């Protein structure tokens, strides 16, 4: 038989529970539950469906005018000119390699038309910072010092390709420039960047990792895992989302219902900013400030750069199937990152009207020369199929290698052995 109910003593009350009755007029205002410490109680039954839209930071308008003199870029003439030259060189390289793919000379390519202002983020980083790219960050790599020859060798997968012919074109990587090799699956680099940043923090180095991805990749589970890990562990990482309006053929309006990608950063407790991704100086300023937060305070930062993908998603895509040509043409003329940067330079007297033609001509000459040289080189040696995974080849790999070598000796014409570099 149950005994008489005993009153709740102070020792029996749950940890953190208030002694004030929930019906009392002096009820505690702030929520004490450990899962939402910044919340307050309310008597209104309402479902939260939206918050105030996050503004978009801008330094200059579409005509290259700085809107607030306090935001005038503090860079030297040489630094600004180098950024602009790299935008022009990137365009020249994209044009040549896009046409080369259409001629069947390389298997695949992706251009950066419309997103050239991304170079502003590269200029704001330290060369020791570790970059995790997606596949439209050639401008970042170019600004870091990756040579035209190295770009060509990778796209041709020849014997001088740093990746030894194991990756698709535009899947660049270089240890020397702290640029992690790109992989095709979406968003895999996001938790990797968070983990690398955590390692940098534990080493006590004043460095950060920088992770680039598109708004489509933000729909992957790795995005959520990576941001949450970075927030809870205090990882010095900059997440840079290129929101270019389309995830291949899926427009942003069908990709999400919330306030872009930036609102998700706030949800994870991450310092977040949305910028005009076609404004190279807005990108530069935001990335520079984000790096300071990451490196000096061990805090992750999310940058959502609003831009527009003028090009097809890749050479495997025909964007006219899901958007009109007029839409693309309007964007090209209305808000061109290259034109904005040129107008800013000309207004300062740092660039003349005829300088473009000279730079573009020189860039195309260099690209075509490197292109022709890369095309003549042999493919990587067959041994590269088996190396760089184990310190010593396993018996199974040794058997497979011997089998392939025997087949190549027996059928040299079929396997086109003269097209490959010789094994040492």
Residues contacting 289, CB < 8 A, separation 6+? 273
Which position among 143, 171, 312, 313 bears the catalytic label?
Answer: 313
Which position among 112, 263, 311, 314 bears the catalytic label?
Answer: 314
Q: Are 238 and 221 in contact (CB under 8 A)?
A: no
Task: Please state whether beta strands 56-57 and 130-132 pair in parallel, antiparallel, or not at all (unpaired).
Answer: unpaired
Which position among 127, 128, 184, 249 bears the catalytic label?
Answer: 184
Residues contacting 381, CB < 8 A, separation 6+? 159, 420, 421, 422, 423, 424
Identify the burial level of 61 via C-beta atoms within 10 angstroms of its C-beta, where 0-12 means exposed, 13-18 middle and 19 or more buried.
middle
SS3 (DSSP) at 277? coil
Q: Are 93 and 147 in contact (CB under 8 A)?
A: no
Whether 403 is a known active-site residue: answer: no
Residues contacting 183, CB < 8 A, separation 6+? 171, 189
Q: Which helix (H) or strand (E) is 243 found in, with range? A: strand 237-243
Which position among 24, 53, 79, 99 bears the catalytic label?
Answer: 99
Task: Please state whether beta strands 271-276 and 209-214 pair in parallel, antiparallel, or not at all (unpaired).
Answer: unpaired
How far apart CA 31 and CA 38 sit, in angstroms, is: 7
Q: Are 212 and 240 in contact (CB under 8 A)?
A: yes
SS3 (DSSP) at 354? coil
The rounded radius of gyration (Å) of the Cα atoms in the chain is 27
Residues contacting 374, CB < 8 A, separation 6+? 149, 152, 153, 155, 156, 158, 160
What ranges in 234-307 are assigned the alpha helix state H? 252-255, 262-267, 280-297
Whether 24 is a known active-site residue: answer: no
Tokens (6 digits) for 143: 């600004």
Which residues are known catalytic residues? 99, 184, 313-314
């Amino acid at each position: 038989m149950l005994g008489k109910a005993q009153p709740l003593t102070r020792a029996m009350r749950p940890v953190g529970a208030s002694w004030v009755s929930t019906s009392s007029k002096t009820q505690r205002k702030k929520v004490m539950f450990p899962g939402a410490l910044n919340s307050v109680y309310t008597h209104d039954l309402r479902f939260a469906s939206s918050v105030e839209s996050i503004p978009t930071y801008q330094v200059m308008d579409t005509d290259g005018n700085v809107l607030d003199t306090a935001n005038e870029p503090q860079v030297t003439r040489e630094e600004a000119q180098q950024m602009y030259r790299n935008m022009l060189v990137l365009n020249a390289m994209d044009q040549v390699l896009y046409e080369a793919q259409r001629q069947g000379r390389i298997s695949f390519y992706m251009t950066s038309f419309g997103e050239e202002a991304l170079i502003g983020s590269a200029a704001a980083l330290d060369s020791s910072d570790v970059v995790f790219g997606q596949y439209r960050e050639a401008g970042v790599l170019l600004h870091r010092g990756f040579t035209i020859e190295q770009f060509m060798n990778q796209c041709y997968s020849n014997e001088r390709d740093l990746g030894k012919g194991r990756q698709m074109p535009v899947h660049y990587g270089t240890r020397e420039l702290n640029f992690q090799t790109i992989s095709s699956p979406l968003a895999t680099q996001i938790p990797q960047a968070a983990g690398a940043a955590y390692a940098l923090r534990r080493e006590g180095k004043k460095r950060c990792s920088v992770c680039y991805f598109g708004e489509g990749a933000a729909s992957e589970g790795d995005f959520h895992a990576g941001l949450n890990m970075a927030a809870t562990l205090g990882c010095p990482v900059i997440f840079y989302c290129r929101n270019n309006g389309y995830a291949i053929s899926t427009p942003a309006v069908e990709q999400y219902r919330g306030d872009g990608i930036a609102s998700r950063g706030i949800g994870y407790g991450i310092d977040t900013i949305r910028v005009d991704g076609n404004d190279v100086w807005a990108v530069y300023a935001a990335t520079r400030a984000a790096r300071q937060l990451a490196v000096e305070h061990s805090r992750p930062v999310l940058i959502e750069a609003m831009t527009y993908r003028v090009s097809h998603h890749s050479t495997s895509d025909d964007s006219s199937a899901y958007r009109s040509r007029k839409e693309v043409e309007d964007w090209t003329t209305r808000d061109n990152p290259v034109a904005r940067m040129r107008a800013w330079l000309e207004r300062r007297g740092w660039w003349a009207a005829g300088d473009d033609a000279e730079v573009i001509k020189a860039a195309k000459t260099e690209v075509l020369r490197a292109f022709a040289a890369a095309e003549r080189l042999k493919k990587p040696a067959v041994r590269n199929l088996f190396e760089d995974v184990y310190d010593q080849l396993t018996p199974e790999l040794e058997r497979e290698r011997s089998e392939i070598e025997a087949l190549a000796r027996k059928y040299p014409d079929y396997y086109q052995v003269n097209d490959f570099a010789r094994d040492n």
